Amino acid sequence: MDKTKELGESHIPRLMLKYFIPAFIGVFVNALYNIVDRIFIGQGVSAVALSAVSVIFPVMLIMMAFGMLIGIGAGVLVSINMGRRNLQKAEHVLGNSFMLMILVSGLIMAIGFLIKRPMLEMFGATQETVGYANDYLNIILLGVVFQVVGFSLNNVIRSEGNARIAMYSMLLSAGLNMLLDPLFIFVFDLGVKGAAYATVLSMIALSVWVLFHFKSERSVVKIRARYFKLDWDIIKEILVIGMAPFFMQTANSAVQALINTKLIQFGGDLAVGAMGIVNSVITLIIMAIVAINMASQPIIGFNFGAKAGHRVKETLRLSMIAASVISIGAFIIVQAFPGEIVRLFNSTNPQLLTLGKQGLRLGMLALPIVGFQVVVGNFFQSVGKAKIATLLTLLRQVIVLIPLLFILPNFLELTGIWISMPISDICSALIVTYFITREWKLL
């Protein structure tokens, strides 16, 4: 079936399932990037090296933020213009977004090397961990262009309705990373540098793959050189729509930096390593929910552009239900088996085990209500209501959480850091409920 006809006419539950399965496989495997790095570093190098890579996590979030700024903004515009039967505009968006990826990547790399040392210290590197962190970051910065291009263009592939090809992209890249990690760390004895080399080489493979796709017959929209000249109206549209996930990731990076400094203050380097484990688990769960967003975004964007409100509502309803099921199921597993999860990353350090179990159990107490919040934020983004999407995102990760991180540890020390996260989730969920209830009536 023609992609535009499929998005506008196919049975919504069947269409959601068709798009969800490849998206889930793709993002689940993609989430293993950092997780596999941490597992091999924690088991093959040391618990301190694991803490050092956890210090780099806020930097990785910033890089991903720029990929989301361009990739999601461009993806939404591509699907909306496909819904309007304006493929020329969709290709214009794609060409401009590609040039924007190159320019932004170069800027990130240059600034990253200029402020590397103070940035590492700000994000929680100590005298014991800064050497490992510096080695890892040097290599990652050199490959940032491939991370931004690969991640961003793969999102556009999904937005044009080619979810299965987007899945193959992530299987190729993450699969290569999982093969190279043990080779570089254990066989070549490269330590944290080996993990970084594996990540960059995998991103290069992803970039080549997605570029070939947009020059092939499989793509609905093509990368054409005549659209490389920047059109500032299109650039503005991309950035406005992509601003919500960009703020989400940059805010998350700032919060992670703050959390790392608080963890060092109240728990030391190994508490940062424990947070790295918590983040790995949270990332895996959130990525499963993001797969629902990836499945729903082209359907919502297309039908919103086609003014088919009833199809938008049905897609949103199914997305919220599915996200809640994933959140509740993950909550049960985490609360039942925290020790087993921590031992995957390091099985020799008893202090890390204790800290990791505490972080998993307390930090994820409100997990059952996180799923629908992530879906609602994506909905407002998919229909172009970037301001609301940005507000809802910042509520959970900045506006509520940061004050809690400054207040609660003064009374509860390390426990106060962990429970700041679920309290923030609960407060923001109440406001998210208000906004989606109002929007539901308008639809």
Tokens at 244, concatenated: 């919500």
**In the prediction, which pLDDT does 243 show?**
81
Q: What are the structure tokens assigned to 410, written together?
A: 């003064």
Distances in Å between the Cα of 24 and the Cα atoms of 243, 291, 329, 380 are 24, 5, 16, 21
Rounded to the nearest angstrom, the gap between the alpha carbon of residue 405 and the centroid of all alpha carbons in its chain is 22
Q: What is the pLDDT of residue 2?
A: 61
pTM metric for this prediction: 0.74
CA distance 141 to 112: 7
Q: What would the two tokens of residue 326 be?
A: 């994933």
- CA 397/CA 443 separation, integer angstroms: 28
Phi, psi of 110 (to 5 degrees): -60, -50
The pLDDT score that the predictor gives to residue 32 is 73
Tokens for 205, please give them.
């493979």
Between CA 253 and CA 181, with CA 49 as vertex, the angle to 5 degrees is 90
Tokens for 256? Answer: 């992670």
**CB distance 362 to 419 below 8 Å:** yes
Kindly list the distances between the CA atom of residue 21 and the CA atoms of 8, 27, 107, 289, in Å, as whole numbers in the listed order.
Answer: 20, 10, 35, 12
The CB-side HSE value for 302 (13 A sphere, CA atoms) comes to 26
Per residue, the 3-state secondary structure of the chain, as one string, reads CCHHHHHHHCCHHHHHHHHHHHHHHHHHHHHHHHHHHHHHHHHHCCHHHHHHHHHHHHHHHHHHHHHHHHHHHHHHHHHHHHHCCCHHHHHHHHHHHHHHHHHHHHHHHHHHHHCHHHHHHHCCCCCCCHHHHHHHHHHHHHCHHHHHHHHHHHHHHHHCCCHHHHHHHHHHHHHHHHHHHHHHHHHCCCHHHHHHHHHHHHHHHHHHHHHHHCCCCCCCCCCCHHHCCCCHHHHHHHHHHHHHHHHHHHHHHHHHHHHHHHHHHHCCHHHHHHHHHHHHHHHHHHHHHHHHHHHHHHHHHHHHHCCCHHHHHHHHHHHHHHHHHHHHHHHHHHHHCHHHHHHHHCCCCHHHHHHHHHHHHHHCCCHHHHHHHHHHHHHHHHCCCHHHHHHHHHHHHHHCHHHHHHHCHHHHCHHHHHHHHHHHHHHHHHHHHHHHHHHHHHC
Distance CA 32, CA 285 (A): 11
Residues 6 or more apart whose Cβ sits within 8 Å of residue 435: 376, 380, 388, 392
Q: Find out whether 337 and 289 touch, Cβ atoms under 8 Å.
A: no
Q: List the chain residues with pLDDT less than 50.
A: none
List the one residue out of 231, 228, 181, 376 whose CA is nearest residue 292. Answer: 376
CB 193, CB 136: distance < 8 Å: yes
The rounded distance, in Å, linking the Cα atoms of 11 and 363 is: 39
Residue with tokens 């590609």: 98
pLDDT tens across 182-241, in order? 999 888 989 889 989 999 999 999 999 999 999 888 888 888 889 999 899 999 999 988
pLDDT for 290 = 84
